[in-house]
Amino acid sequence: MAHIALPEDLPGISSAFAFRPETAKPMRELAHVLLHEPNSLTPGERELIATYVSSQNDCYFCQTSHGAAAASHLGGDDVVQRVKADFKSAPVSPKLKALLAIAGKVQRDGKLVTAEDVERARHEGASDVEIHDTVLIAAAFCMYNRYVDGLDTWQPRENGMYAQMGQHLAEHGYLKSSR
Amino acid sequence: MPHIALPEGQPGIRGAMSFRPETARPLNALVEVLLRAPNSLSPGERELIATYVSYLNDCHYCQSIHGAIAAAHLNSDEELVRRVKADFLYAGISEKMKALLVIASKVQRGGKHVTTGDVAQARDLGATDTEIHDTVLIAAAFCMYNRYVDGLATVQPRDEAMYRERGKMVARDGYVNVSKTYLPAEPVKR
């Protein structure tokens, strides 16, 4: 049972958003800009960063729903599982690997990101905006993950639900609830 | 030097926000609701939670500016801010606030550390569900803001007077209003 009286029929962050629409609005807008709006990083790549950080933070709801959104963008779940297990050997671009290394540092502590990490990403073709967005996606998921787990939200173990949610997020983004 | 080409003369999160106004707007809107909008927790109390979490995350810019904003809301009581950071259990704050700071510190380490016992304790001391919710989200949000500010290696001056002055201004005018001084005007929605 959740720590506070959240709506019982909504899973994960949806229940917290319904409980407090005033904070849900900017949180939805932030996710929409970071993950869905046009960007030189594809939505699939950005969802992989979100999924990886959520898996490092061990947040079941976030890694599963964003993993499903990534899989929907990328046409399959295999690359998602491989990024979570070991992104260095996953079939993603060298640029995305360098960005995932930065995201992994941010997940632990922003101060761990070194000039060399950033140089490597730039060498693989990352722009300043892409580096900025990687840092902010990683930082933002350190918020979303803590929010979802810190309230002890309901996080069902039902793959079908997440696949549906992921498809909805991939198609429509984050501004409105999927239900 | 920052990791990317942030505008000069804008320390801390302001440099990052000026660089990317599209994300700055929801970031400012969120902090405005969490720390300033009318709430049964006072702005000073909520700024203390933000300051404490930023201190635990060792983010110099965030703990300094939010500590200064907290002090500005709390009759310039900088000593109280210092005591909350050093050991909040002995600081001159309510027992309810102490219970909420326990929850915030658990969230800082990871949301799953928060126990039903922590929440029951806060509730026994008078905390409402919205106050518990907001405490969790303030703590979570500062785990984002702190990582954003440190992860880009933003400029973080060691200048207490600067933070004190700016803290008074933000306490008076609010986050969204102050952000208009460094963000471009919002594009007209079509």
Instruction: List the single residue in B with minimal CA-CA distance to A37.
Output: B22
Please tell me the predicted confidence (pLDDT) of residue A179: 53
Please tell me the predicted confidence (pLDDT) of residue A35: 98
Please tell me the predicted confidence (pLDDT) of residue B133: 98
Is residue B94 a part of any domain in this protein? yes
pLDDT band of residue B155 (cuts 50, 70, 90) is very high
- Predicted TM-score (pTM) of the model is 0.98
Is residue B121 a part of any domain in this protein? yes
Q: Which fold has domain A12-172?
A: AhpD-like (1.20.1290)
Say if residues B164 and B68 touch (Cβ distance below 8 Å): yes
Q: Do B144 and A139 touch (CB under 8 A)?
A: yes
Q: Name the residue among B174, B153, B144 with its Cα closest to residue B73.
A: B174
Binding-face residues of A in 56-95 toward B, CB within 8 A: 57-59
Q: Do A3 and B107 touch (CB under 8 A)?
A: no
pLDDT along chain A (179 residues), means of 10: 95 98 98 97 98 98 98 97 98 98 98 98 98 98 98 95 97 85
Q: Is A151 on the interface with B (CB under 8 A)?
A: yes
Is residue B165 a part of any domain in this protein? yes
Please tell me the predicted confidence (pLDDT) of residue B58: 98
Q: Is B111 on the interface with A (CB under 8 A)?
A: yes
- The alpha carbon of residue B64 is apart from the nearest alpha carbon of chain A, in Å, by 17
Please tell me the predicted confidence (pLDDT) of residue B124: 98
The percent of residues above 70 in pLDDT, for chain B, comes to 98
Chain B CB contacts of A3 under 8 Å are: 114, 116, 119, 132, 136
Instruction: List the single residue in B with minimal CA-CA distance to A120.
Output: B3
Please tell me the predicted confidence (pLDDT) of residue B190: 55
SS3 assignment, position B27: helix
Please tell me the predicted confidence (pLDDT) of residue B117: 98
Q: Which residue pairs from B114-122 have beta carbons closer than 8 angstroms and sit at least 24 positions apart in sequence? A: B114/A3, B114/A149, B114/A150, B114/A152, B116/A3, B116/A152, B119/A3, B119/A4, B122/B96
Is residue B117 a part of any domain in this protein? yes
- The alpha carbon of residue B189 is apart from the nearest alpha carbon of chain A, in Å, by 14
Assigned token pair, B63: 């703990």
> How far out from the chain centre does Cα B92 lie?
20
Please tell me the predicted confidence (pLDDT) of residue B97: 98
Average pLDDT of span B80-101: 98
Q: Is A145 on the interface with B (CB under 8 A)?
A: yes
Encode pLDDT of B55-73 as tens digits: 999 999 999 999 999 999 9
The percent of residues above 90 in pLDDT, for chain B, comes to 96
Taking 90 as the threshold, does the pLDDT of residue B4 lie above it? yes
Tally of structural domains, chain B: 1
Please tell me the predicted confidence (pLDDT) of residue B188: 64
CATH code: domain of residue B147:
1.20.1290.10
Encode pLDDT of A56-90 as tens digits: 999 999 999 999 999 999 999 999 999 999 999 99
Q: Do B107 and A146 touch (CB under 8 A)?
A: yes
Q: Do B30 and A58 touch (CB under 8 A)?
A: no
Encode pLDDT of B121-144 as tens digits: 999 999 999 999 999 999 999 999
Q: Name the residue among B14, B12, B8 with its Cα closest to residue B181.
A: B14
Q: Is A106 on the interface with B (CB under 8 A)?
A: yes
Is residue B49 a part of any domain in this protein? yes
**CA angle centred on A143, ends A121 and A140, rounded to 5°:** 30
Q: Which domain holds residue B75?
A: 40-174
Backbone angles phi, psi at A14, to 5 degrees: -60, -40
Taking 80 as the threshold, does the pLDDT of residue B53 lie above it? yes
Please tell me the predicted confidence (pLDDT) of residue A26: 98
Q: Is A116 on the interface with B (CB under 8 A)?
A: no
The percent of residues above 90 in pLDDT, for chain A, comes to 96
